[in-house]
Amino acid sequence: MTITITAFERSPDGGKGLARDTRVRWALEEVGQPYEVRLVSFRAMKEPAHLALHPFGQIPTYEEGALALFETGSIVFHIAERHAGLLPDDADARARAITWMFAALNTVEPPILELTIAKIVEGDRPWSKERLPLVEDRIRDRLKQLSARLRDADWLDGGFSAGDLMMVSVLLRLKSSGILDDYPNLAAYLARGEARPAYKRAFEAQLAVNTGTPLPG
């Protein structure tokens, strides 16, 4: 059955790969599943047809036959559950990989998203400059703990998993901030994620949409 995902017609990041469709593209590339993309405009995202697919009016969504899903974590998990390559076979190792997915989304990403809100949504408020260091400190608390756990390992728990896919995707949001420079093992971890052929294909695919460049082949 054809897999169809949605993505921004024009991503707010201009193609840096931070829109969440990149995470789903990456997961599909890791497991070797072809997919189609339906682009949606900001206006269309808030209209009934899209809200029926995604109650919070966001991208990505995932359609496969009669199944329609939203929420990136759930979509990546669905892909990981059905195709080899993103979750270990051993039951305990699988549960730990899923743990890292949730940790990326519920523990590490929220303070990082708050930095984006502080800079973009509240960037022109009178408190912006004074408040920013507080927001960054809350991110550093998490990065310090994550760095201590990762140590010199390649991935968070054994081989690359959906947990790493999600954690790398979350850390990518910090790439332009310079904060990761203080955590060399996390910067190297991020680079390892970006170096994966599946990530590169996902990145190029979203970039082509945002720059209007046709993909080769």
Footprint of a copy of itself (CB under 8 A): 51, 55-58, 66-67, 69-74, 77-78, 92, 95-96, 98-99, 101-103, 105-107, 109-110, 113-114, 117, 121-122, 125-127, 130-131, 134, 138, 142, 145-146, 148-149
Q: Which is nearer to a copy of itself, 33 or 207 (CB)?
A: 33
158: left (phi over 0), alpha (psi -120 to 50) or beta: left
Q: Which is nearer to a copy of itself, 89 or 92 (CB)?
A: 92
> Measured from the CB of residue 66, what is the shortest distance to a copy of itself in angstroms?
7
**Residue 181 exposed, middle or buried by CB count within 10 Å (0-12, 13-18, 19+):** exposed
> Measured from the CB of residue 93, what is the shortest distance to a copy of itself in angstroms?
10
What three-state secondary structure class fits 136? helix
User: CA neighbours within 13 Å on the CB side: how many for 115?
Assistant: 21
Q: Which is nearer to a copy of itself, 169 or 210 (CB)?
A: 169
Q: If residue 57 lies in a helix (H) or strand (E), which one and from where to where?
A: none
- Integer Cα distance of 90 and 134 in angstroms: 41
> Measured from the CB of residue 39, what is the shortest distance to a copy of itself in angstroms?
21
Q: Which is nearer to a copy of itself, 63 or 205 (CB)?
A: 63
> Measured from the CB of residue 215, what is the shortest distance to a copy of itself in angstroms?
29
> Measured from the CB of residue 202, what is the shortest distance to a copy of itself in angstroms?
20
Which residues in the chain belong to E strands, given as ranges? 3-8, 36-40, 61-64, 67-70
> Measured from the CB of residue 174, what is the shortest distance to a copy of itself in angstroms?
16
Nearest to 83 by CA among 215, 198, 217, 216: 198
Q: Which is nearer to a copy of itself, 121 or 191 (CB)?
A: 121
CB atoms within 10 A of CB 24: 28
Q: Which is nearer to a copy of itself, 84 or 121 (CB)?
A: 121
Which distant-in-sequence residues (6+ apart) come within 8 Å of 67 by Cβ?
none
